[in-house]
């Protein structure tokens, strides 16, 4: 048996033993996609979503029309927020809301946080964070006359508690970090870092974009202050699906977000002369909620609750572990380097492999129906959504990478 045949055989055995294998039938697939390895960028749609969208046109929108605002839509941001909190965040109701994009919600929470910390003049962030997070921090600092203290982690190591401890002081208003590093997939020590930030008297805002729906979270138990996450990755909300924001109950009424729109007012239809914020997390809403954009993620959240986050996490670590195992066998001989943790306790649901030819390789993989993600300068990111990805896809995708790197290919 060849090495490729052995890898395919092991993948088949893992799929046969996978207790979550049947969930893959819930997702839309096509013959043109051999291996979808980018679920951490955009999750697959579900069959149920097609029916939900058609039903929405015929019923809630087509039949109820404007009456649906009073009957269901006005409460959708907080109702769906509570579902995300229960299914994915480890949070009690009344602290999570769905609205806007990740960028807009980051801006709202960063501004609200620093404005609540009178006399504190610094924001702490890291240079390896996703561009949006860094750009928002720079913009808010410029608006409010604050300084940014940058943590500079070594490539692939993520931000450590020790680095945070060295960066925070009585000048720190807010620390903004990602829970799972978007390049390496390394999981930050959320409990320890949150405790360090609080000991300095500052607030912490966690970006959960690569965590929600793939990594178990307990934001209430760990006393997180604020969090933001997108819903088009592991929550399968579709392209452009609205993001969610978490604001711990202890900060309600103390933090005031800066985009004062009518839908975040205490009584939107009073058409009042002055803005009076709604009580609780509802005040994070600004404009008209994106009702259509909220529909697809409901089906995925139902699947997550049915499967349970503990089982999703088990499948996630098994998938990424298998991907590392296959990369060691098939790709390491071509000088491919793993840029993600081998320890599954600190690894999210994606891994990154590095090789100088991966930009060109990625383009050819896409042409063949193998779809990973390229991250400059030379990273191939393998994103494995637990409920929709099979071990066979991992084997087929990485086998294709090996074929393209092989010197015998001519």
Q: Please state, in angstroms and as integers, the Cα–Cα distance from residue 41 to each residue in 29, 72, 337, 376, following that order.
A: 17, 30, 22, 15
Residue 45 DSSP code: P
pLDDT of residue 155: 77
pLDDT of residue 409: 59
Q: Please state, in angstroms and as integers, the Cα–Cα distance from residue 279 to each residue in 79, 253, 259, 276, 285, following that order.
A: 15, 7, 15, 9, 11
Matching fold, domains 3-46+308-405 and 72-304:
no
What DSSP letter does each residue of 91-109 carry, written as one string? --SSSEEE-S-HHHHHHHH
Q: What is the dotted CATH code of the domain comprising 72-304? A: 3.40.640.10
pTM for the structure as a whole = 0.96
The packing angle between helices 3-17 and 391-405, to 10°, is: 160
CB atoms within 10 A of CB 199: 10
pLDDT of residue 157: 82
pLDDT of residue 198: 98
Q: Where are the domains of the chain?
A: 3-46+308-405, 72-304
Instruction: Report pLDDT digits (tens) over 130-155.
Output: 999 999 999 999 999 999 999 999 87
Instruction: Report pLDDT digits (tens) over 9-56.
Output: 999 999 999 999 999 999 999 999 999 999 999 999 999 999 999 999
Strands of 263-372, DSSP E: 337-338, 350-354, 370-371
pLDDT of residue 154: 85
pLDDT of residue 156: 72
Q: What is the dotted CATH code of the domain comprising 3-46+308-405? A: 3.90.1150.10
Q: Which residues of the chain have pLDDT under 50?
A: 410
What residues act catalytically?
Answer: 130, 207, 232-233, 381
Cα separation, 290 vs 381, in Å, equals 30
pLDDT of residue 22: 97
């Amino acid at each position: 048996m060849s090495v490729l045949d052995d890898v395919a055989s092991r993948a088949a055995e893992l799929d046969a033993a996978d207790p979550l294998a049947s969930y893959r039938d819930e997702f839309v697939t096509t013959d043109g996609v051999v291996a979808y390895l980018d679920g951490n960028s955009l999750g697959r749609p579900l069959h149920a979503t097609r029916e939900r969208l058609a039903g929405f046109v015929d019923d809630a929108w087509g039949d109820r029309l404007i009456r649906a605002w009073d009957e269901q839509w006005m409460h959708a941001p907080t109702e769906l927020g509570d579902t995300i909190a229960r299914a994915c965040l480890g949070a009690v109701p009344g602290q999570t809301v769905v609205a806007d994009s990740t960028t807009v919600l980051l801006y709202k929470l960063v501004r609200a946080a620093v404005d609540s910390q009178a006399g504190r003049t610094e924001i702490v962030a890291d240079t390896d964070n996703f561009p949006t997070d860094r750009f928002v921090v720079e913009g808010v600092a410029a608006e409010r006359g604050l300084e940014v203290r940058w943590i500079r982690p070594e490539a692939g190591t993520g931000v450590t508690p020790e680095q945070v401890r060295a960066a925070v002081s009585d000048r720190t208003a807010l620390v903004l970090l990602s829970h799972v590093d978007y390049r390496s997939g390394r999981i930050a020590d959320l409990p320890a870092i949150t405790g360090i930030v609080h000991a300095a008297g500052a607030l912490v805002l966690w970006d959960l974009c690569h965590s929600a729906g793939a990594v178990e979270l307990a934001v209430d138990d760990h006393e997180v202050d604020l969090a933001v996450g997108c819903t088009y990755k592991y929550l399968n909300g579709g392209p452009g699906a609205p993001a969610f924001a978490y604001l711990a109950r202890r900060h309600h009424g103390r933090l005031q977000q800066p985009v004062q729109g009518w839908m975040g007012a205490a009584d939107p239809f009073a058409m009042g002369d002055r803005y009076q914020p709604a009580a609780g997390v509802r005040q994070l809403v600004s404009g008209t909620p994106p009702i259509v954009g909220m529909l697809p993620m409901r089906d995925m959240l139902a699947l997550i609750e049915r499967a349970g986050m503990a089982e999703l996490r088990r499948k996630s670590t098994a998938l990424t572990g298998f991907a590392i195992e296959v990369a060691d066998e098939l790709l390491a001989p071509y000088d491919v380097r793993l840029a993600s943790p081998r320890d599954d306790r600190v690894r999210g649901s994606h891994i990154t492999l590095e090789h100088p030819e991966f930009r060109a390789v990625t383009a050819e993989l896409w042409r063949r129906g193998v779809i990973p993600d390229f991250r400059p300068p030379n990273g191939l990111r393998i994103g494995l959504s637990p409920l929709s990805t099979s071990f066979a896809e991992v084997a087929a995708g990485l086998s294709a990478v090996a074929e393209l790197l092989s010197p015998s290919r001519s």
